[in-house]
Chain A
Amino acid sequence: MSETLKPIAENNQEQYTRHSPAQEAFRRLLRHRSAQAGMIMLGILVFIAIFAEWIAPYDPIALIKTVKRREPPCVHLLGCPKDKEQHIFGIDGNSRDLFSRVIFGSRLSLQVGLATISFAIIVGGLIGAISGFLGGWVDNIIMRIMDVLMAFPSLLLAIAIVAVLGIGLINALLAIGIVSIPRFARLIRSTVLSVKELDYVQASRALGASPLHILFNRVLPNAISPLIVQGTLGIATAILDAAALSFLGLGAEKPRPEWGLMLGEERNSVFNAPHLVFFPGIAIMFTVLSFNLLGDGLRDVLDPRLRGSTRG
């Protein structure tokens, strides 16, 4: 009896305790189905990335001289003879353990996603905020530049930037970051435009707050939630773009275990060694899916207009 009573009592208390909007949103997020799935998948990924050294049985770039290259997977549980070494994803085209490479690839992909989007959010956010807040000809010029950037297909623009900067992972990151800037700039600008006309901002202005104070303390905090949603979804796109660049040989340098590079290198052996493209492909899909699910959940949770539907 006492056990069933306790939660009710807590519940009653909760109704009266004040939660910050962030806490409130987080609680809703935990209850959201697709966000749950996304977070679990992402949790696994982060775990793998952090503990890659202990999970991966082999060095991802060292040759294993005892096996034939492109050997299919050998899993003892599935009937592979015990006297053979176990390689659960098989051997890649340079006689390296594919499982270890896929595991280490998670590190690179998460880093790529986070780094490019942080860059894009900071630069794009600043540009958008300035543009929306100042308005007038500044706004006009900045937004026209953003329009021009957006007019290019993003991957093509990224390829062009890499071509100018030179091949390499850092340059690829920079390129993807630059390509993602306009999306965030536009987003922030539109929210800033609507927020700055709100009464509390007018009140702050009437009280004599400096424009910088208003921008950073009044306007931006209230424009942050769409940014979080876009950012999460943007990470997924960034990871895909980075994989695409590496696939084309413009991103990560060999022999780095990058999923896109692994796909690109072995695309000719789709028919005679399908495991070599299957596993990195699945890994990319898994990562992108986890960010997309999480992003969807975040949008549902943070958008007040959709809030009613998520409760049920």
Chain B
Amino acid sequence: MKHKFYTFMGIILLLSMALAACQPAATPAPEKPAEPTKAPEAPAEPTKAPEAPAAFEGMKVEAPNCDYGGEFKSIEAVDAKTVKFTLCYPDPAFPQKVAFSVFSIQDKEYLDANGGDSVKMSDNVNGTGPYKVKEWKRGDSIIFEANPDYWGEKAKIPTLIFRWSEQSAQRLLELQSGTVDGIDNPAPEDFATIEGDANLKLYPRPALNIFYIGFNNKIKPFDDVNVRKAFAMAIDRQRIVDQFYPEGSRVADVFVPPLLKPGYSEGQKWYDYNPEEAKKLLEQAGYKDGLEVTLSFRNVVRGYLPTPDKVAQEIQAQLKEIGVNVKIEEMESAAFIDATAAGQKGFYLLGWTGDYPDATNFYDYHFANANNLQFGDLFPDVVEALKAAGQTADEAKRQQYYDTANKLIKEYVPMIPVAHGASAVAFKANFEGAHASPLGNEYFAVVSASGVDQLVWMQNGEPAVLWCSDETDGETLRACEQVYETLLAFEVGGVGVEPKLAEKYEANDDATEWVFTLREGVKFFNGATLDANDVVATFVSQWDAKDPNHKGRTTTFEYFGAFFGSFLNAE
């Protein structure tokens, strides 16, 4: 008996010791990586101080030739305040591209110290923007405080807090009860409630997006263009927009919204809703006895798709009418995006929100991007038309190329364009300067309210990191946009491009050389002054696959690839 008791006690003792051993080991672990990040930073400042007054040594990174498949030929710091980009081919949309927040400028020393690691850089955020990050309580909120040394107009409200919830009902409830001051994407059916409430104000977000039903032409049965066409005729797009989209949305006929010209083909119509014809086409394709397909989607609310699971079921029921049995597969957001981009899904719901207001942003990523396998094989003639359009500066000529591309896309049906969805943000009525941006980059530094020193914003999801060079998610980018700045920026709440870190810029006649002159007196949070080398280093960290800072979070740098083609020194 006693023997047993001692064994038992012994085991308990051992277990508790093991537990005790685990715990202290776990706590210092996160501390450790934090220290080395700080350590190199401290000496970074002194090295910089004596360097600046001395002769400026400009960096220059150059591709040996343009055969590597990317847009950049060279990036050069001409002097401390001048950066010159030389391109391999004309790019009229270059200002819009560099205004996108993925290309925010970072201090070179800071970038070197962290090896370009987005996750590390999120722990100790260093930017130039109107807000600094005070604290990121993971899973709960991000607290920003106004940057007292900001070069431009300082943030009007001293404290900005980001919170998130994927439930639109919860977001609205918190707004109504006053625990948050602004929310993103209220549900369409709540628009009337918000408009009827004198304390709240709804700001409609103009549609710069597309919701489409994608096909992969390498996965059966969608390898047959007649099946894709049949589906296109069997789906009543008007009904989907009427039933599931808020006011201000419209049925899509081509892949880009009418706001984008050149790009939008006036007068081109998509296939009419015609289930009988669809049935016939299916029969011709050899599916007389019906068909089983799986429809994949992610249940994430976006401006282009306010009610994903409802729309999925609507499509399921509509296709049932032509004898197609649809199995609905709901996936986790990131897994879904990865699977479609890798070409593993044959039939799926997806959409796109414009990052910069140019048709290339919509077309090139989807239909002329060899890295993107979501539609299976690319269509060479579409690629040709889009590439030509992207490199033409003359608007009428460009539009002609896009008209050709749109006709071909209709013929090949790689996807069914369904809707350009309107969405909205809602704020308490007393907040001035509140706005909804068509690009989804609401800028909170201009928002103010009398007697209020804190603004709580609630969006759909938590940002992944706080350095966005390697990010695509709008929820993440919006947080970065409060802290970091780009050479040029979009107007607040608009799509026009205006100077930001660059005071002015000029291009040569065929849009292959772009020279930016940087603003004086811009300081990073760590005290470093902005110079041309910072700009070069930031761009090179994304462009050059061999650069030590080419790390990010996943090292895919999806936007860079989509905007500027291949990486330098890529394998």
Contact = CB atoms under 8 A, between A and B. Distances in A.
A183 B312 CA distance: 40
Interface in B295-318: 299, 307, 309-310, 312-314, 316-318
Given A94-B310, A249-B330, A254-B328, A268 B317 contact: no
A147 interface: no
How would you classify the secondary structure of chain A's contact residues: helix, strand, loop or mixed? loop
A76 interface: no
B312 A269 contact: no
Given A65-B239, A93-B310, A94-B317, A270 B169 contact: yes
A63 interface: yes
Interface string A77-118: 000000000000000011100000000000000000000000
Interface string B313-338: 11011101000000110100000000
A69 B316 contact: no
B314 A265 contact: no
Contacts of B309: 254, 265
Contact of A267 (B169, B316, B328, B330): B169
A249 B320 CA distance: 22
Contacts of B239: 65
B122 interface: no
A203 B203 CA distance: 85
B317 A269 contact: no
B169 A69 contact: no
A228 interface: no
B289 to A, nearest CB: 20
Contacts of A255: 313, 316-317, 328
Interface string A237-272: 000000000000100011100000000010111111
A89 B496 CA distance: 50
A260 to B, nearest CB: 15
A65 to B, nearest CB: 7
B274 interface: no
Interface residues of B, number: 24
Contact of B169 (A61, A253, A271): A271
A66 B198 CA distance: 34
A94 B314 contact: yes
A134 interface: no
Interface residues of A, number: 22
A267 B170 CA distance: 11
B187 A268 contact: yes
B243 A69 contact: yes
How would you classify the secondary structure of chain B's contact residues: helix, strand, loop or mixed? helix
A61, A68, A249, A271 interface centre (most CB from chain B within 10 Å): A271
Nearest to A268: B169
B193 interface: yes
Interface in B235-250: 239, 243-244
B190 A272 contact: yes
A63 B169 contact: no
Contacts of B299: 249
B460 to A, nearest CB: 13
A269 B189 contact: yes
Contacts, number: 49
A95 B243 contact: yes
Given A61-B317, A269-B169, A253 B328 contact: yes
Nearest to B187: A268
Given A69-B243, A272-B193, A254 B316 contact: yes
A94 B313 contact: yes
B209 interface: no
Interface string A40-74: 00000000000000000000011101001110000
A62 B330 contact: no
A267 B320 CA distance: 26
B189 A272 contact: yes
Contacts of B344: none
B189, B328, B330 interface centre (most CB from chain A within 10 Å): B189
B147 interface: no
B169, B187, B239, B299 interface centre (most CB from chain A within 10 Å): B169
B167 interface: yes
A144 to B, nearest CB: 15
A163 to B, nearest CB: 12
Contacts of B312: 254
A63 B187 contact: no
B184 to A, nearest CB: 15
A254 B320 CA distance: 13
Nearest to A253: B328
A70 B316 CA distance: 18
B541 interface: no
Nearest to B170: A268
B168 interface: yes
A271 B316 CA distance: 27
Nearest to B312: A254
Contacts of B168: 268
Nearest to B328: A254
A302 B244 CA distance: 55
A269 B244 CA distance: 14
Interface in B468-520: none
**Which are the 9 A-B pairs with shortest beta-carbon distances?**
A268-B169, A63-B317, A94-B313, A254-B328, A255-B313, A93-B310, A254-B313, A272-B189, A69-B243
24 contacts: A63-B314, A63-B317, A63-B318, A65-B239, A68-B243, A69-B244, A70-B189, A93-B310, A94-B310, A94-B313, A94-B314, A94-B317, A95-B243, A249-B299, A254-B312, A254-B313, A255-B316, A265-B309, A268-B167, A268-B169, A268-B187, A271-B169, A271-B193, A272-B189
Interface of B: 167-169, 187, 189-190, 193, 239, 243-244, 299, 307, 309-310, 312-314, 316-318, 320, 327-328, 330
